[in-house]
Amino acid sequence: MIIITAPVHDFLTETLTHKGLKFLLATDLDYDGLLNKIEQATGIIVSTQIDIDKRMIDRAVNLKWIGRVGSGMEHIDVAYAREKNIICVSSPEGNSNAVAEFSLGLLLSLMKKISKSAAEVAESKWLRPENRGMELGGKVVGIIGFGNTGSRFAQLLSSFDVTILAYDKYKSGFGNEMVKESNLEQIEKYADVISFHVPLTETTYYMGNRAFFEQLKQKPFILNSSRGKVICTEDLIFALTNQLISGAALDVLENEHLNSYVELEKKNFEFLVQQKNVIITPHIAGYSREATYKMSKVLLEKLDII
């Protein structure tokens, strides 16, 4: 049996039914709920709500594969699963365009003060000089992480007159007429915009820290649609307070469970949402209708179920 704990497109469940595969659609399961059922599972389809750790994997005596809807495998102990001969696949190709489009939208909204001015108009404030924006054309955009979403973001930017600098610790040889392969120091020195498109790993945890922000030379706009803990919230606030950056757009936060915040988290969150040059959205960059279908389709293809 296949246990599905992630929201998926009907295409996925319809395909499983057509193939004669039994499944349990249980998106309300928590960790303990899955732990109690996973012994009977030959496959599980998950998102980020439940950690698939060693304890869970040890209980999953019949498990053959783990399918992650979307990108990022930090909630799955992939190394241990593979020791147990459990196949682990994800579907970042499915929502890469959605994330790239959303990142571009965030950037344009920041630079042209769209969200800020719209909120002011809703308060009957008609402020034109105060909302004079900037053009993206002619700027230098730094992309950190040149995988599915980073490369797609670069493609969208190609229609603008921008210089694109891209850095990826694990890739090389991807530079072309559109993208200049760069190191992190070059991005810190030249970029007017820096966008993070990296998975959360030991290497990328708090990649956006105080030392990083203090190296920035152009007061760039910062975008993060990858994982919240790629940027240290307190250090981002330091950068904003000391005008080391021109603004920030975050689709992800270190802790996205707002009701669980302790006092420091509440204080930091309240500071960020009060800033006119900060946009925060609820982790929806890759959540388009089209991406929901494509992620399910890619996952089934990788699992050789289609």
- 111 and 226 part of one domain: yes
- 153 and 73 part of one domain: no
- 77 and 10 part of one domain: yes
Nearest to 261, CA basis, from 269, 250, 252, 271: 269
Instruction: State the virtual CA torsion across 69, 71, 76, 78 in degrees, nearest 10.
Output: 110
Which residues are known catalytic residues? 227, 256, 283
Q: Which residue has the tokens 């007159």?
A: 161
Nearest to 251, CA basis, from 43, 87, 98, 144: 98
139 to 136, 185, 196: CA distances (angstroms): 6, 17, 17
- 101 and 250 part of one domain: yes
Pairing mode of beta strands 193-196, 221-224 = parallel
CATH code for the domain in which residue 229 is found: 3.40.50.720
- 252 and 141 part of one domain: yes
- 65 and 127 part of one domain: no
Q: What is the Cα–Cα distance from 213 to 207, expressed in whole angstroms?
A: 10
User: What does the pLDDT profile of the chain (306 residues) look like in tens digits?
Assistant: 999 999 999 999 999 999 999 999 999 999 999 999 999 999 999 998 899 999 999 999 999 999 999 988 999 999 999 999 999 999 999 999 999 999 999 999 999 999 999 999 999 999 999 999 999 999 999 999 999 999 999 999 999 999 999 999 999 999 999 999 999 999 999 999 999 999 999 999 999 999 999 999 999 999 999 999 999 999 999 999 999 999 999 999 999 999 999 999 999 999 999 999 999 999 999 999 999 999 999 999 999 987
Q: DSSP class of residue 128?
A: S
Domain containing 69: what range? 2-92+289-302
Q: What is the Cα–Cα distance from 164 to 143, expressed in whole angstroms?
A: 7
Specify the pLDDT at position 306.
75
- 159 and 237 part of one domain: yes
Q: What number of other Cβ atoms are within 10 A of residue 108's Cβ?
A: 16
- 71 and 111 part of one domain: no
* Paired strand residues for 292: none
Listed in sequence order, the DSSP H helices in the chain are 10-18, 31-37, 54-59, 78-83, 96-111, 114-122, 148-157, 184-190, 210-214, 233-241, 263-274, 289-302
Structurally, how many domains does the chain consist of? 2
